[in-house]
Chain A
Amino acid sequence: MLGRMINIKRRKICLCRQFTVGPVLPIALVLFYIVAPWANAHGIDIMAWVEGDRVLTESYFSRKNKVIDGHIKVYGPSGEQLMEGKTDANGLFSFKIPQETDLRIVLESAMGHRAEYVLKVDEIMGKSLSKIQKKRDPGFYEVIGGIGLILGLMGLTLYLRNRKRKKTDP
C-alpha cells in the first residue's frame, strides 16, 4: 500500500517536471494575445448595422438576455450628441442615419453597465461588408477554451491509461 502511494507520488512529480519548461511557449503566446480583448469584457454589448437609411442596434447581456430600456446615445465624430433613445423589449433601437460620418453609439443600462459600438462611415455609405458578415477575430474565451480542450484531452488520455494500468497491475 505504502509502496504504491510512493509510486504514485513519484509519477506525479515526474509529470510536474515535464510541465516546468514545456508550457513556457504557449503561455508566452497567450500573454502576448490576452491584452487587447480585455478592453470590452463588460458583460454587456451593443451591435449596430445599417439597413436602408436606418441604423439598427441590438443590445444584449448575452444572446438570450436583451437589454430592455437601455439608454442609447449617438455621438458624431467630434463628440457631439446627435440622438438618444431607449431600447425596446427585444433590446432593439433604430434611428434614421443622422449624418454620413462615423457614429459612436453608446449603450448605458442600469447599474453602470456601458458598451459602445463605432459604426464606420464606410458601413453607413454601404462601401464595406456589414460587421456581421465580416470574419470576427477570435476572442479571449475562444483561445482559453481551445487550450483548455487540448489540456482536457491530455488529461482524459492520461486518466484512461492510468485506469488501464491499474486494472492490469495487481
Chain B
Amino acid sequence: MHISEGVLTAPVLGTGMALTAVGTAIGLKKIDYDRIPQVAILSAAFFVASLIHIPIPPSNVHLILNGLMGVFLGWVAFPAILVGLILQALLFQYGGLTTLGVNTGIMAFPAVICFYAFRHGIRSKKPVVTMSFSFLCGLGGILLAGLLLASSLVFAGDHFVGVAKLVIIAHLPIMVIEGLVTAFAVKFLKRVKPEMLEAVYAR
C-alpha cells in the first residue's frame, strides 16, 4: 500500500498532503493526554506490522492493521499512522517522504470510515456481534485502502478498474487475516481491558 516516490503527479501529492493535514489536525485535537501511551503503542504496532509479510499466492503483501487502528483510535488513527509511516519511510525506505501525505490518507481514511461505520456493532454486548463487526472493520480497512490506492494511481495514468482489481486481489488474503486479527484483538481487549475500547468515545 506504500506508493513510492516519483509515481504520482504533484497535484495528487498536494491533495494527499492537504487531506492528511486536516485529518491529522482533527486527530491531534481529539487526543486525550491520558491516551497517549495507547496511541504510541498502536503506532508502534502499525510500524512493525509492515514487516510481517504473508506469502500467500498470488501475492506477497504485509500486514497494515489500519482497521485495527480505526477501532481503537477513530480520528486519532491519522497522527498515529502518520508517525508510523514517517519512520517506515526513513528507516525501511517504504514509500517516501513526498508521498507521505497520500500514503497516510490511503491508510488512515479507511480507518476513520470503518470506525464510524462499525462502532455500534463493535460496542454491542453480544460477543458474536462484536467479533463479526470487528472482522468487517479489519477487512474493510484494507478494502477501502485498496480502492483509495487505485483511485490515486488513476491520476498517474492508470486505468481504475484494472488497478483496483489487481490491488484488491493481491490483498485478499490480508483482508481475511486482518479481519481475524482485529476480531480477536477486540475480543481479547474487551474482556481484559474494556476501557481501552471505550476511550475513543470519551470525546
Contact = CB atoms under 8 A, between A and B. Distances in A.
A143 B83 CA distance: 14
Contacts of B38: 18, 22
B40 A25 contact: no
Contact of A22 (B41, B47, B51, B92): B41
A30 interface: yes
Contacts of A149: 87
Contacts of A30: 48
Contacts of A19: 37
Contacts of B88: 146
Given A25-B45, A26-B41, A32-B52, A154 B92 contact: no
A138 B93 CA distance: 8
B91 interface: yes
Interface residues of B, number: 28
A52 B87 CA distance: 37
A146 B91 contact: yes
A116 B79 CA distance: 42
Interface in A124-170: 135, 138, 142-143, 145-147, 149-151, 153-154, 157-158, 161
Interface of B: 33-34, 36-41, 43-45, 47-49, 51-52, 83-84, 87-88, 91-93, 185, 189, 192-193, 196
Interface of A: 14-15, 18-19, 21-23, 25-26, 29-30, 32-33, 135, 138, 142-143, 145-147, 149-151, 153-154, 157-158, 161
